[in-house]
Chains A and B, each alone.
Chain A
Amino acid sequence: MSGYRIHRPGERINRQKPVSFQFDNVQYKAFSGDTLASALLANGVRLIGRSFKYGRPRGIVGFGAEEPNALIQLETGAHTVPDLKATQVELYQGLLAGSTTGYPSLDFDLKGLLGKFGRFMPPGFYYKTFMEPVKAWPVYEKYIRKAAGYGHAPVLPDPESYDHLHHHIDVLVVGGGAAGLWAATLAGRAGLKTLLVDEQAEMGGWLLTERRSRIDGLSGMDWVSQRLAELASLPNVSVLPRTTAFALHDLNLVQAVELLQDHLPLTERNAALPRQRLHKIRAHQVILASGAIERPLVFGYNDVPGVMTAAAGHSYLNRYGVAVGREVLVQTQNDAAYEAALDLAQCGVKVMLADARQGGAAAWRQQALKSAGVELLLGHGIAKVLGDKSVSGAQLVKLDGRNNQVVGSGPRLSVDTVLSSGGLTSTVHLFCHNGGRPVWNQQQLSFVCPDEGRDNIACVGAITGRWELSEALGQTHAAVAALLLGHGRGSSGNAPSVASEEVAAPRAIFRLPDGKPEGHGAKAFVDYQNDVAAADIHTAIRENYRSIEHVKRYTALGFGTDQGKLSNINGFAIAAEALGKPIAEVGTTTYRPSYTPVTFGALAGPHVGETFDVRRYTAMHASHDARKAEYEVVGQWLRPWYFPKPGEDLHAAVNRECLATRNSVGVMDASTLGKIDVKGPDAREFLNRIYSNAWSKLDPGKCRYGLMLDENGMVMDDGVTACLADDHFHMTTTTGGAARVYSWLERWHQTEWPELKVRFTTTTDHWATVAVVGPDSRQVLQKLCTDIDFDKDAFKFMDGRSGTVAGLPARVFRISFSGELAYEINVDANYGRYMWEEVMKAGAAFNITPYGTETMHVLRAEKGFIIVGQDTDGSMSPNDLAMSWAVGMKKPFSFLGKRSLLRSHTAGDGRKQLVGLLPLDPKVVLAEGAQILSNTDDTVPAAMQGHVTSSYHSAFLGRSIAMAVLKDGSKREGDTVFVWAHGKSVPAQVVSSVFVDKEGVRQHA
């Protein structure tokens, strides 16, 4: 038989509120306040899953975050959540859950058959077995992957939301047990801004289970209520239940996830509230009161469903009113498990207790157990558990008093449940996340946090190895009082009063011997989730893994969703024994975040969907929408890509836009280009240094194209800068480079040339820019503006004017990225859409055609104009781009990159240089990024000659064109090269990269 309900005073379930739920398609009943685990146990369900490697039947072992086995799939469809621990799932009406393992069914599992041969599946089994033949690995992998793993990730979008919340506080207390509550009380009373978090739905920690202790004359839970009432009355204190602090980073940044709605039925969740909230807490002082977790002992077949920790059996009884069995064997090596035995016995459960210690617990405990009718077996250990899918009994052996050896046979007991306690393990994870190391405490048999904590991190209660409540509260009081005194917060009064009790020392035993050499007896599991047995650790050591980190990786000890909370110390101890070293010397593996699994949703928080990333819009966006633009994202900006008319695809639209622009007039939103106001008496000198070309003689009203080089002489950005006044310039940058260039200017000014009187202000967002492009553009501008003379000789190519356009003050620059007669109108962006629409109206007579970035790319490629980042890659100098005309080597002061341009490598032969390519078949558009080969019969590995950087169909030329970087390209005009892509070579001729209007007649028109 297995679990059943039993009334317990102080139980945490609400019997007035029954709930029904489903597990593996079977309907069950339970109560509000249950966890899924307690509800399943109450309904007699023991088999929850199959083990990872051997497919062995597994049941619930723990009652919280430490649970290794009961990984379940919660809900279905978009709401499904994989691999939750049933011990942490709060039950709600209508909850749907299922097991995550077992094929074809949980009851009959194919992997279970394989597990019968477990002896032949040592650590590294898969590495060792599936080495040959190499080609077969994909086949092996398919089946190994199918056999591995637990739940399945949702495939539908998550319908729930998540958010983040930042805290700046004085004190963060992690853990709402007795120590944490007292620490928060003291900090709160001292007036400090305090936050207390605990992963459980209710504060109280172990006091939720343990009912005998009295604190300040009150029962444990009454004292908890008193504390919570006091904390609630303090405006400087916040208390967050269901909140797991899962990571501690440098400078006391703690991340904690709060489960705001997971405990509610799906239909009752408030859509306005997040399901979970990620708290990012920056605390001057962190107080870790995260307690301890009971670990089991390691013995033969200790994984049969019905074997669990004593703390779990105790908690299910007292918190949820569930007796986990009718005939229970408690196996221990310490005093604490006697409490579980006593409470169970007092509830009418038949209890036997085997203690590995010859002398057993403190006399008063032994007497209490005997009085309750518990049979005590001192100096005994379990050799193996009997049963397959459920415990049916246990075979005991007599243990030697000093050495962990078997000295005789013991009784064979008929029981339906085995509870074991191997002592407590301090929950040191957070202390260790950013480099802290725990210390081994041989008296308490645990790695614990040092009493002194670390700078601004205090450790209180069981985390320091104080298992007894009186000691834990005493140490907490002393530590927090000292801390407050250090902060000038005065006296903290007295510690809570708790009677101390006599306790017998635990026995240093982790693996209960069965009298056989390791590996020859029943499998004794250390890590349930990864199917790591004691023998596997011995095998790893025999195969010469000496570091515990290597043992972990070879055996998988301590991996998985439970992160070894039950298994680590047992594993370290068994490794220590095999290595013949003390445990302290073996040490621990590295504790890393997260303490427990955190959903991606919580980590992403609000940064999903429409707020996933910044989308930058220009002032004319609504106009583009109205004209059905298709968009592309450029440096976070949403730019019109092309404007399809009904029935047009990208190519048809771009061909039309290109021809309209070359033959009459096109219009483009150029607002996204970076714009920087450069002003000051030394502005020119600054530009001389930051650009490769000369700026000393640029008159007001003139514009100049400039190349910006990095220290290596490579092109990092380009753009046109206009001289507005002798000391005032309007600089433009590439769309994606704006922020980088602005920082670049500030960096050089602030760090190297602070003596130059010049200042920079970003004006990218201030100006909305409409580019009017094409032979008819002048006429369009003339319809909009009377106070600028647009005559070709009065307003020349690369001139800039201020004037009134469509009634607004505007800066107009006659610059061109297309090789056409073109003007860019800049106005205050609040008028951007107005200006766009006025241009459209004025251009209507010329069939003005809006175009997007794709047409812009074709038009500029026809002219051989580069796009930094597309035709350059950080290794292109101006010379490589045939742009030495934009380098002023004779400038009196050096400029950034000048020295590098003279380096032998930069100036030498063999560099890739920008060229044009004309495919011999004019219909073939080369693939961008395709590699260039010298010969058609080159075979792998071939010498790469370069690659195609830009490639388009030019409607204006009626053929394909491309730009490429080619080794020594400047000397190879007329050569035929071979462009390799998609498995074949395409011949192309090397030509000048200027395909249209080499003389520049059009842009000077």
Chain B
Amino acid sequence: MPKQGFQPFMESPLHHFKLDAEAQARRADGRIWCNELPHLGYAVLRGDTAEAGFAQLVQQVTGLALPLQAGAVSQGPQGVLMWTSPDEWLLVSHRQRLADWTAQLDGGFAAQQLFAQTVDSSGGLTLAWLGGTEHITVLRHLGVYDFESIPLGHMVSTVLGKATVQVIRLDGDGVFVLFRRSFADYVWRLLRRAAQPYGFAVCQLEARGDHPLFAQLAAPRPSLILA
């Protein structure tokens, strides 16, 4: 008979750095402040904007307008929706909400016979928040993109060192760096190294109720979104 009473636990890609243990309340002291936003839900959204009903369905389900401009990010209290290519977006939200959304979206796509889909990527991605006066300089130490030029509400896909990342600017208070799980150790070490001249500190995660990303941090239950 199978063993009952399983107690699944999650470990985020940066779990092994034990960031919680060294996290401090953030202050404006010239240092670079950073932490991982663990266990968010991520889904790749694919669709054809020329197909009637696609954008409407996405907005109806998520409350987020489908961004059509390259690099644009839609944000709301329940998450963000980022343009990543002409027929591809990344949806980030609380894990459970994301599971609900993707189920509704896929159901809606099927019902309307749209050539559209969601692919759960929650296990494969993570986000780090990077703040402090020189946070853009830290990125300039590592990547060739003109990070200062990223408008608020936009993201870019680029390379830091030898890893592909997305850099997301929401409200001007720091940036979010999105990267793949298997590259997480490398990216974190790279950010930490680049921040060294300014001082590097791990900040406590703020439970900001209406923030498009921080608000999604509430402890999630084991994901049930897998088909």
Contacts and interface: CB of A to CB of B under 8 A. Distances in A.
Given A611-B161, A768-B123, A809 B183 contact: no
A829 B181 contact: yes
B146 A807 contact: no
Contacts of A272: 196-197, 199
A831 B222 contact: yes
A20 interface: no
A585 to B, nearest CB: 42
Nearest to A279: B140
Contacts of A841: 3
Interface string B174-218: 000000111111100110011011010000000000000000000
Interface in B96-122: 115, 117, 119-122
B115 A680 contact: yes
Given A163-B197, A165-B141, A784 B46 contact: no
Nearest to A679: B117
Given A606-B161, A606-B193, A828-B123, A802 B226 contact: yes
Contacts, number: 162
Interface stretch (B4-12, B61-69, B74-82): B4-12
A827 B161 CA distance: 29
A364 interface: no
13 contacts: A165-B137, A606-B141, A615-B185, A619-B123, A764-B124, A765-B180, A784-B2, A802-B226, A807-B7, A809-B223, A827-B123, A830-B10, A831-B222
B143 interface: yes
Contact of B222 (A167, A762, A807, A829): A807
A264 B146 CA distance: 32
B115 A831 contact: no
A274 B44 CA distance: 39
Nearest to B5: A807
Interface string A790-832: 0000000000001000111111000000000000000111111
Contacts of A616: 182-183, 186
Contacts of B182: 616-618, 637, 672, 764-765
Nearest to A616: B182
B193 A766 contact: no
A274 B197 contact: yes
B50 interface: no
Contact of B8 (A637, A811, A831): A831
Interface in B35-91: 39, 44, 46, 87
Interface in B133-151: 137, 140-146, 148-149
A763 interface: yes
A807 B186 contact: no
Interface string B1-34: 0110011111111011000000000000000000
B121 A761 contact: yes
Contacts of A274: 197
A607 B161 contact: yes
A767 interface: yes
A166 B143 contact: yes
A807 B119 contact: no
Interface residues on B, range: 35 or more
A910 to B, nearest CB: 42
Interface string A272-304: 111000001010000000000000000000000
Contacts of B193: 161, 163, 606, 611
A274 B189 CA distance: 16
A809 B226 contact: yes
A610 B188 CA distance: 11
Interface of A: 161, 163-168, 272-274, 280, 282, 606-607, 610-611, 613-619, 621-622, 637, 672, 677, 679-681, 724, 757, 759, 761-768, 782-786, 802, 806-811, 827-834, 838, 841-842
A614 B165 CA distance: 13
Given A606-B194, A765-B124, A834-B9, A808 B162 contact: no
A786 B6 CA distance: 12
Contacts of B125: 765-766
Given A168-B149, A681-B115, A763-B124, A828 B226 contact: yes
A710 B6 CA distance: 46
B39 A830 contact: yes
Contacts of B46: 759, 761
Nearest to B10: A830
Contact of A766 (B8, B12, B123, B142): B123
A763 B119 contact: yes
Top 4 A-B residue pairs of the complex, sorted by shortest distance between their CB atoms: A765-B124, A807-B6, A829-B123, A766-B124
Given A764-B124, A765-B180, A829-B181, A614 B227 contact: no
Most-contacted residue by chain B among A280, A607, A807 (CB, 10 A): A807
B140 to A, nearest CB: 5
Given A607-B162, A828-B223, A841-B3, 15 more contacts: A163-B141, A163-B197, A166-B144, A168-B146, A168-B149, A607-B161, A614-B161, A621-B16, A759-B46, A765-B125, A765-B182, A767-B124, A830-B39, A831-B10, A831-B11
A492 to B, nearest CB: 26
Nearest to B137: A165
B12 A806 contact: no
Contact of A830 (B12, B119, B145): B12
A963 B189 CA distance: 41
Nearest to B223: A828
A834 B10 contact: yes
Nearest to B192: A611
Contact of A784 (B3, B11, B189): B3
Nearest to B115: A757
A806 to B, nearest CB: 5
A613 B87 CA distance: 32
Given A272-B199, A614-B163, A765-B181, A830 B123 contact: yes
Contacts of A606: 141-142, 161, 190, 193-194
Contacts of B183: 614, 616
B196 to A, nearest CB: 5
A238 B117 CA distance: 49
Contacts of B223: 809, 828, 830
A166 B144 CA distance: 6
Contacts of B197: 163, 272-274
Contact of B148 (A168, A672, A828): A168
A55 B194 CA distance: 46
Contact of A806 (B6, B117, B163, B196): B6
Contacts of B10: 830-831, 834
Most-contacted residue by chain A among B10, B137, B224 (CB, 10 A): B10
B12 to A, nearest CB: 6
Contacts of A811: 226
Contacts of A161: 193, 196
B190 A765 contact: no
Contacts of B199: 272
Contacts of B87: 759
Contacts of A806: 6, 8
Contacts of B16: 621-622
A454 to B, nearest CB: 23
A834 B15 CA distance: 13
A614 B181 CA distance: 12
Contacts of B15: 622
A614 B162 contact: yes
Nearest to B220: A830
A762 B184 CA distance: 16
Contacts of B162: 607, 613-614
A941 B226 CA distance: 60
A280 B11 CA distance: 38
A165 B44 contact: no
Contacts of B140: 165-167
Contacts of A679: 117, 119
B227 A724 contact: yes
A764 B164 CA distance: 14
A607 B160 CA distance: 11
Contacts of A759: 46, 87, 117
